[in-house]
């Protein structure tokens, strides 16, 4: 038989409905905060990785172009989106294709993508008097600018990187 005293002891050990609701609300708020924090950290990590990838690829593309310009005997064609260099008996062409968002390097033996996810690309050519020129034989200095991006703006991972290569002087240009 249960006495009145034992009933009161059992009732004193249990939580009231109000206490349960308050506890669940606090637990929900804390859980939501933790999930939000992890989501924020995850997006930042993806942005950092995307930025690092873009910088690495842009540096490699710039170094490849600089090496070819340094070894070039002459420039045979120029445009705002590319150029063709004569190196020994070979012809090397750099061309930006806005449809594929790629900068490609083509020589006599192969063609490969130097830079992907390019949203803007410009080659600027100047002569000995620092005037912009479109005459290949007059080019003394080459500047290459490109903007690349990767990620997704909807997920908060979009990263844009602007490459501004150093001015490349043609060998024997007299500048």
Kindly report, residue by residue over 28-86, the tens digit of the pLDDT: 999 999 999 998 998 899 999 999 999 999 999 999 999 999 999 999 999 999 999 99
SS3 141: strand
C-alpha–C-alpha distance, residues 113 and 119, integer Å: 14
Specify the pLDDT at position 170: 83
State whether the Cα torsion 122-127-133-134 is positive or negative.
negative
Residues 6+ apart with CB under 8 A from 91: 76, 84, 85, 107, 108
C-alpha–C-alpha distance, residues 171 and 175, integer Å: 9
Residue 61 lies in a domain: yes
Residue 10 lies in a domain: no
Residue 149 lies in a domain: yes
Kindly report, residue by residue over 91-135, the tens digit of the pLDDT: 999 999 999 999 999 998 899 999 999 999 999 999 989 999 999
The domain containing residue 148 runs over which residues? 15-169
Residue 175 lies in a domain: no
Q: How many domains does the chain have?
A: 1
Residue 88 lies in a domain: yes
Residue 33 lies in a domain: yes
- Among 5-9, 30-34, 164-168, the minimum mean pLDDT is found in 5-9
Residue 70 lies in a domain: yes
Q: The pTM is what?
A: 0.76
Residue 1 lies in a domain: no
Residues 6+ apart with CB under 8 A from 86: 72, 73, 74, 75, 76
């Amino acid at each position: 038989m249960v006495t009145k005293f034992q009933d009161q002891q059992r009732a004193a050990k249990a939580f009231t409905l109000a206490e349960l609701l308050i506890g669940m609300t606090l637990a929900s708020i804390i859980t939501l905060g933790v999930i939000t924090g992890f989501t924020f950290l995850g997006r930042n990590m993806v942005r950092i990785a995307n930025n690092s990838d873009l910088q690495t690829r842009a540096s490699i593309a710039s170094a490849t172009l600089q090496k070819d310009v340094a070894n070039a005997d002459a420039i045979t064609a120029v445009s705002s989106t590319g150029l063709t260099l004569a190196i020994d008996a070979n012809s090397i062409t750099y061309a930006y294709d806005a449809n594929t968002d790629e900068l490609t390097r083509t020589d006599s033996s192969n063609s490969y993508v130097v830079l992907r996810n390019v949203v803007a690309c410009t080659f600027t050519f100047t002569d000995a008097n620092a005037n912009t020129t479109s005459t290949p034989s007059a080019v003394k200095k080459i500047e290459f600018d490109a903007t690349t991006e990767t990620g997704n703006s909807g997920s908060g991972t979009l990263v844009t990187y602007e490459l501004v290569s150093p001015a490349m002087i043609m060998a024997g240009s007299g500048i």
